[in-house]
Amino acid sequence: MSYSAPAGDSTPAGDSTPADDPTPTGDSTPTGNDLDVLCFATQGPDSGDHQRIAYLLDPLGPRFLDVHRHRKTDLPRTLLREIGRRRPDVVVLEGTGVAGGVAVMAARLLRGVPYLVSSGDAVAPFLRTFDPRLGPPARLYERSLCRLCAGYIGWSPYLVGRALSLGAPRGATAAHFSRGHPSPGAREAVRTRLGIPPEAIVIGIAGSIRLNVRLGYSYGVELIRALRLTTRPELRVLIVGDGTGLENLVALAGDELGRRVLLPGRCPPEEVADHLAAMDIGALSQSTDVLGSMRYTTKLPEYVAAGLPVVATEVPVAYDLDTGWLWRLPGDAPWHEDHIVALSQFMQTVTREEIARKAACVPRDPPVFSAELQQQRVCALVREATARSARAPAGREPETLGA
């Protein structure tokens, strides 16, 4: 399903962002029709990443390269050939997969074509979660990718700051946006279908259930482990999604599966908001290290659109966006024992009245998650970064920054 601006999502009253092209009058920056943009998502054309960047760049009329048609080892050569044939003004890379990153850096150095990179993760810390030995080469790769780029699109302001410190010459934040709001009657309909009684307190999460083998963790592990430490019969944990970690979740649930633990599997993207409406509290499961602290996650705007209060770890976003709708629990990572114990105590004691007070504080269509405003600023960044890169060398010297 393609992303589109949520209904009613528009520039807030009093906001200084104009509805038309934000490029100042008299600037020589190319407009949408004047700019030839070649774009590809390292996760492929069927991914959510592709849908996201396709929406953000839509006013520029980008052309897309289907990376899944080529072997990753051939991607740099393929991109160079495509650039020679198509002669784009700029390349936009969604995701930071090594094959895609090497490809755009090669195009910059060998063909002189500028590129922008968009990412939802701090690259080196992410790669290190799979194997700590990847640390040094991952840091070099991330620094090179930032220093050679014409601009950086971060899924959080923290990621933009990191990229600037690593040498990116400019950047903008596109913090993601929801697919839409729950449909009328969705809460009751989904609860009935899943066998959730009206009086149940449901804490849940929706997303890809990928297992990190080294950590033995996927989204939802901490929810099930915490639930099993509680005695409240009305509690439910609802985990929507599938992936390599689902079998592990089934094993952890044990005799609670189908009772207090519900694992309905993957649902179509257009039904995610309806499943979130069946919950009372959304879980934001991020570690407090560099990797987790830099994220907003794609779940957060979905929770906000569904009107869900959120229980989180003590990550920066849980402070920065809190207007009374978040709970913060201790623990350096959701898989650590101290966080699981704190989460179980929260589950055991949270009241319906407290949930209602928090839910009343969830912001309605906040500008930070406005699809239209994100599209405007990303297009402005692409236009201006492309124009500036023709007049200046790529990147600048990075600041000293530990990965």
Question: In the prediction, which pLDDT does 353 show?
Answer: 97
List of domains in the chain = 32-177+370-389 (3.40.50.2000), 186-360 (3.40.50.2000)
Question: In the prediction, which pLDDT does 235 show?
Answer: 98
Question: In the prediction, which pLDDT does 11 show?
Answer: 30
Question: In the prediction, which pLDDT does 269 show?
Answer: 86
What are the average pLDDT values for consecutive 10-residue runs of the chain, which has 403 residues? 38 32 38 81 85 96 80 75 86 91 91 94 85 88 96 96 96 92 96 96 94 90 98 97 95 97 93 96 94 91 96 96 97 95 98 98 95 97 92 52 45
Question: In the prediction, which pLDDT does 399 show?
Answer: 52
What are the residues facing 173 on neighbouring strands?
A: 154
Tokens (6 digits) for 262: 């519900």
Q: What is the pTM of this model?
A: 0.84
